[in-house]
Amino acid sequence: MDRARYTKILIGLGVFAFILIARLFYIQIINDRYKTDALNNSIVYETIYPPRGLIYDRDSSILVGNRSCYDILVCPREIRNLDTLTLCEVLGIERAFLEEKLDYYRKYRSKIGFKTLPFLKNVDEQTYMRFCEVQYRFPGWHSQVRTTRNYPFNAGGNLLGYVSEVNADDLARNPEYRSGDYIGRTGLEAVRDKQLRGEKGYHIYLRDSRNRVLTSYNEGRDDKLARPGKDIVSTIDADLQQYGQELMRNKKGSVIAIEPKTGEILSLVTSPGIDVDILADMGGNYDALSKDPNKPMFNRAVQASYPPGSVFKLVNGLIGLEEGVLSPQQCYPCQRGYYYTPTKKLGCHKHPSPIDFREAVMMSCNSYFCYVFKNLLENPRYASCADAFDAWELYVRSFGFGSPVGCEIPNELGGNIPNSSYYDRIYGKGHWKYSSVISLAIGQGELGVTPLQIANLSATIANRGWYISPHLIKDSPAQFHRTLVDSSRFEPLIDGMYRAVHSSAEEGGTARLAAVKGLDICGKTGTAENPHGEDHSVFICFAPREDPQIAVAVYVENAGFGASWACPIASLMVEKYLRGEISKERHWLETYVRDADLMDVKKKEKNAQ
């Protein structure tokens, strides 16, 4: 071997030795990662769960807060020499319960791996403290402190939503979650989960062979602080929401109140609903709620599609005014109904005849609005009935019907507004006319709307033709919409709504129970036919007439005429919001409504049949 080659080999070996020594120096002296890996068997991570963000009402009252709760956790792979008798005594549990859990851990040992699982949730503070004192005696068993929700106001369990432990689907969709974490499941908790949940942290501790925590690892420099969730401010008025729930007790339906100028939802009541007292423990109540025949988990305000009934006459009237087929002075007769064929009649209640537009709104005349609808679909400016109908459909959709209005509640329905193609398929193209769809004139037939859309209609009329998408969170971006009806068309209709509330019985006002001295409430009753039972009671209103502050819609299932139940409920909501209390002369009405058990009445009627 020549000297030059020998020298190169020595140099190469020297470089290799230098790199190896430098790497060992880096690993052992500079970088702690491998040292940490070597210490893994003596290191324990304690998760720090951040407090979830609070939910406030519009006046800074807490709707959803936090309280501390305590859990017992277990890592099955780390269990050693378990003293089952002592553990049961410390935790206050039956031995059979513990054995059942241990059998499960053994059965699914490979699937569980080294995961830490919740063993007991929400144990009381005394049990938690008792366990902490002897925790070192139970390898694989741990305790943790976290926060759970509490509810100062009984204000909308369906609206606020609940949190629950993540499941397999949640883990697949959200890699940042771990087993034992919690996620917003419904309502505002789900919509703003990322904002509310915060970011987890952890403490790292050293422990000895007896599983006793000795000290903080690396003096806490490798710990990670939890980041608290961000608070949100809702548009809800807690007192009004709670009051609406009281009025709807033992009734099926919805109450929605909106501030017209802003689109902010002041209350959104669904009844029967979820009581906030059980929201923090939905896991233990979910089965019972889901099997309840009254469907308390079903948010009727945004997920139920109903015929709008007579309140939809307002939309048809406005379209008629805009299309020029109707003037406020136009009079039509009504002889207890409207004959749309020589032998078929759409009935109406008894009232004076003939009447003009304002009187038709005040008296809720079916016949009048059948004439209006006939003129809309036979308008000579359109080539066919189908073309006129498509124009009508566009007008209707401009009021926010036919699609979700966009509030933050998940699974909001859009309802149904038919188009000409739908009737072409049923009757054949060119083989149908206004009389084929006459029920649309009074808000029946194929129309389907949600109570929230009806409340939005009330706000739109209060604003004289525009609305901001109803929303539940203060910082939601405003989405402005204008109807295809000019603002100048609204005053005659509003005058009719005012007279419906403030006219005498002799004059024919249908909403006299809504009158509150000095509030200038404008309203419209509705009775929505229900093919499956008693008709639904519907009412919309806003107040005051000038510079409206609140618009309300009430839908009470199987409660009959709109004036009977929906009307007084809506007016009480308006008075409560604008004045803070109900006047003495209307205490009887408040008591009458609040104490009524309409669900029980229907049960009795059914049993009597």
Q: In three state form, how does the secondary structure of 409-457 look?
A: CCCCCCCECCCHHHHHHHHCCCCCCHHHHHHHHHCCCCCEECHHHHHHH
Any idea which of 37-51, 426-440, 507-521, 573-587 has the lowest mean pLDDT?
37-51
- One domain, residues 490 and 523: yes
Instruction: Give pLDDT tens digits for 411-424.
Output: 899 999 999 999 99
Residues 517, 509: contact at Cβ < 8 Å?
Answer: no
90 within some domain: yes
Total tally of structural domains belonging to the chain: 2
- One domain, residues 129 and 209: yes
Final residue belonging to a domain, choices 213, 233, 253:
233
Q: Is the pLDDT of residue 429 over 50?
A: yes
20 within some domain: no
- One domain, residues 573 and 439: yes
- One domain, residues 579 and 436: yes
Would you tell me how many other CB atoms lie within 10 Å of the CB of residue 579?
Answer: 12
> What percent of the chain clears pLDDT 70, i.e. is strictly above it?
91
Q: Is the pLDDT of residue 577 over 90?
A: yes
Give the chain's mean pLDDT: 88
Q: CA-to-CA distance for 265 and 567, rounded, in angstroms?
A: 19
CATH of the domain at 97: 3.90.1310.10
Q: Is the pLDDT of residue 76 over 50?
A: yes
Any idea which of 101-110, 234-243, 277-286 has the lowest mean pLDDT?
277-286
- One domain, residues 357 and 260: yes
13 within some domain: no
Determine the average pLDDT of the residues in 456-483: 96
- One domain, residues 356 and 470: yes
Q: What is the dihedral of CA 600, 603, 605, 609, to 10 degrees?
A: -160
Instruction: Give pLDDT tens digits for 508-527.
Output: 788 899 999 999 999 999 88
By C-alpha distance, which of 431, 417, 313 is closest to 373? 313
12 within some domain: no
- One domain, residues 195 and 265: no
Can you spell out the DSSP letters for 301-358? Answer: HHH--B--GGGGHHHHHHHHHHHTS--TT--B--SSEEESSSS-EEE-----SSB-HH
95: amino acid identity, one letter? R
Residues 541, 551: contact at Cβ < 8 Å?
Answer: yes
User: Which residue segment(s) compose the domain that 301 sits in?
Assistant: 238-608
CATH of the domain at 559: 3.40.710.10
Q: Is the pLDDT of residue 603 over 60?
A: no
Q: Is the pLDDT of residue 185 over 60?
A: yes
Residues 438, 376: contact at Cβ < 8 Å?
Answer: no
Final residue belonging to a domain, choices 180, 198, 233:
233
Determine the average pLDDT of the residues in 58-65: 95
- One domain, residues 587 and 531: yes
- One domain, residues 214 and 256: no
Residue 256 phi, psi (nearest 5): -125, 135
**Tokens coding 133:** 């004192």
34 within some domain: no
482 within some domain: yes
Instruction: Give pLDDT tens digits for 319-374.
Output: 999 999 999 999 999 988 888 888 888 888 888 889 999 999 999 999 999 999 99
Residues 331, 475: contact at Cβ < 8 Å?
Answer: no
272 within some domain: yes
Q: Is the pLDDT of residue 257 over 60?
A: yes
Site of tokens 């004036």: 563
19 within some domain: no
CA dist 566 → 45, 398, 533 (Å): 57, 26, 17
- 219-229 b/e (C-beta count within 10 Å ≥ 16 → b): eeeebeeeebb
Q: Is the pLDDT of residue 27 over 60?
A: no
- One domain, residues 170 and 278: no
- What is the structure's pLDDT at 608? 34
Q: Is the pLDDT of residue 159 over 60?
A: yes
26 — pLDDT class (breaks 50, 70, 90): low
Residues 207, 42: contact at Cβ < 8 Å?
Answer: yes
CB-based contacts of 91: which residues, under 8 Å, 6+ apart?
72, 120, 123, 127, 131
Determine the average pLDDT of the residues in 128-145: 90
Residues 280, 121: contact at Cβ < 8 Å?
Answer: no
Burial environment of residue 609 by CB neighbours within 10 A (0 to 12, 13 to 18, 19 or more): exposed
- One domain, residues 217 and 256: no
- One domain, residues 325 and 374: yes
Final residue belonging to a domain, choices 207, 233, 259:
233
